[in-house]
Amino acid sequence: MSASWWLWPLVAICAADSFREQAERIMQDTPVIDGHNDLPWQMLSLFNNQLRDERANLTTLADTHTNIPKLEAGFVGGQFWSVYVPCDTQNKDAVKRTLEQMDVVHRMCQLYPETFLCVTSSAGIRQAFRERKVASLIGVEGGHSIDSSLGVLRALYHLGMRYLTLTHSCNTPWADNWLVDRGDDQAESQGLSLFGQHVVKEMNRLGVMIDLAHVSVATMKAALQLSKAPVIFSHSSAYSLCRHRRNVPDDVLQMVKDTGSLVMVNFYTEYVSCSARASLSQVADHLDYIKKVAGPGAVGLGGDYDGVSSLPVGLEDVSKYPDLIAELLRRNWTEAEVRGALADNLLRVFEAVEQASDHSKSPEEEPIPLDQLDGSCRTSYGYSEAPSLHRKPGALLAFLTPLLLSLCSL
């Protein structure tokens, strides 16, 4: 036995520390880009979106997973803020509420310019890195937010949407959600309907990333096959390690590999361990597994902070990312692999999506068939079934115009 056996525990402790130090050194110039954070939803539910309420101050906000000091401690350099509106807004005020949550993200950037830089491109993310700010981007969580309208899809793009999750936990008229795979919802589109295919093509044309978190396996496969650019899972883990239908099965991970796509691992305990308790090490198992099956280029982080009720021990809030990175280094991930999971893989996918976009190509115009729309709140202007299509609005305008002109001359 070696004479210096008594040194071993010390060596172990120093090694542990050095992994954490190495993680921090790497994260100085490659901070985390996280795929999914629900802070905007917290702003709505806690403060009805009144960001200047003292209690909403993001420097001192205490009861959330996310605040400004925690983001700094966690080396977060990029965040796709989730613009989430629940499924019960579908066919009601989904679009209005989506616009309001996008406005919240813009106001966060305005109110805390030292911390957040709202950007809409991979170049913008790199700029924020240089300025040591949190590149802030918008991911819209749920296809119901576009209310089956390509015009709304394009308008949201113009307002900064850079990914759209094709469904939340409900079907849209054009794509099926994961509850179908659990038998709790009926399959309606068998993946993507014809209109759903138009949505995916239009997202490709615009340069909006296709997010397959929350969708059914058939929808995952249909989108992976159809998309001209790589796709993301903004907050999903590995099905083989925890058999929850929100996670990504192996045959889909193979398609992720073949298409250069990305799985950003979710930290929610129910998706990590299929129970209310989980550990940091189990999250690292998911990262290891996806790396093994789909390659190191397919791994990312999408913590789902402020969108979930239970998180693993050791990953309680956004300040903890360096501990997870230290664990990957302990597991012999190379520096390049770690940088990939932190930011480089997302940047690669985002750049490929930008390169595949083509704003000189004609926009998709064909509307969804009227009979595929539900809900009594909707008018049907433009569809041939619509009553008095050509006359009424024109007549109203003819009536109003002299009135408006006379008001203008006042």
Of the candidates 295, 302, 289, 301, the one whose C-alpha atom is nearest the C-alpha of residue 331 is 289
Active-site positions?
Answer: 36, 38, 141, 168, 214, 235, 304
> Residue 336: CB partners within 8 Å, gap ≥ 6?
296, 344
Enumerate long-range contacts of 124-131, CB under 8 Å, 24 or more apart: 125/33, 125/77, 125/78, 125/343, 125/347, 125/350, 126/347, 128/77, 128/78, 129/29, 129/31, 129/77, 129/78, 129/343
CB of 111 to ligand NAG, least distance (A): 5
Q: Which stretch binds ligand NAG (CB under 6 A): 52-60, 182-190, 195-203, 348-356?
A: 52-60
How many residues are present in the chain?
A: 410
Contact 211, 233 (CB under 8 A): yes
Q: Which window, 57-65, 128-136, 284-292, 399-407, contacts ligand NAG (CB under 6 A)?
A: 57-65
Residue 298 and residue 52 in contact, taking contact as beta carbons nearer than 8 Å: no
59 binds ligand NAG (CB under 6 A): yes
Which of 73, 111, 187, 356 is close enough to bind ligand NAG by CB under 6 A? 111
Would you count residue 107 as binding ligand NAG (CB under 6 A)?
Answer: no
CB 168 within 8 A of CB 142: yes
Closest Cα to residue 84, out of 168, 172, 177? 168
Which residue among 57, 149, 240, 281 contacts ligand NAG (CB under 6 A)? 57
The Cα 294–Cα 301 span in angstroms is 15
380 interacts with ligand NAG by CB under 6 A = no
Q: Per-residue contact track with ligand NAG, 309 to 348, x per CB under 6 A?
A: ----------------------xx----------------
Closest CA to 185 of 142, 108, 97, 245: 245
Q: Which stretch binds ligand NAG (CB under 6 A): 16-24, 54-62, 84-92, 384-392?
A: 54-62
Query: Which residue do the tokens 């930011």 mark?
Result: 343
Smallest separation (angstroms) from ligand NAG to the CB of 56? 8
Part of the chain binding ligand NAG (CB under 6 A), chosen from 55-63, 81-89, 93-101, 294-302: 55-63
By beta-carbon proximity to ligand NAG, the closer residue of 214 and 291 is 291
Shortest distance (Å) from residue 290 CB to ligand NAG: 17
Give the interface segment with ligand NAG, choosing from 28-36, 53-61, 350-358, 383-391 (CB under 6 A). 53-61
SS3 209: strand
- Nearest 5°: the CA angle 310, 316, 319 is 145
Min CB(26)–ligand NAG separation in Å: 17
Q: Would you give the binding string for ligand NAG spanning residues 140-169, x where CB under 6 A is met?
A: ------------------------------
Using alpha carbons, select from 198, 178, 260, 250 the residue that is nearest to residue 224.
260
60 contributes a contact to ligand NAG by CB under 6 A:
yes
The answer to the question of residue 18 lying near ligand NAG (CB under 6 A) is no
Q: Name which of 23 and 256 has its Cβ closer to ligand NAG.
A: 23
The smaller minimum CB distance to ligand NAG, of residues 118 and 125, is found at 118
| Positions that interact with ligand NAG (CB under 6 A) | 57, 59-60, 111, 331-332
